[in-house]
Amino acid sequence: MLNTNNFTTKSFSDIYELDRGYVGTENYLGVAFFWNFEYRHYLRDASTSKRKKVHSIFLKEGLDVRNKSDRHFEIIKKVTKLN
């Protein structure tokens, strides 16, 4: 798990920019925002590991990581344990 709490502003910014390039690939680290605006409240404060898991499931199921659908929301709820 990637703990970003101890990063300097510069190191976080650099990793965020790197990770933006990984959105939509298996290399995604869980730092950059990738989700549809509709899901911002569910994923913005999620851990990097939960973001990465949601992203991986989206890819595995052939879903566009930036879109929204009932299936996207089901996956987000399951991974983040929302009811």
Contact in structure between 33 and 17 (CB atoms under 8 Å) = no
Amino acid at 71: R
Exposure of 22 in the CB half-sphere (CA atoms within 13 A): 18
- Does 77 score more than 90 pLDDT? yes
Closest-CA residue to 34 (of 1, 64, 69): 64
Element (H, E) at 78: helix 70-80
Query: Is the model more confident about 33 or about 83?
Result: 33
All structural domains of the chain with their residue ranges: 8-80
Residues 27-76: tens digit of each pLDDT: 999 999 999 999 999 999 999 999 999 999 999 999 999 999 999 999 99
Mean pLDDT of 4-19: 90
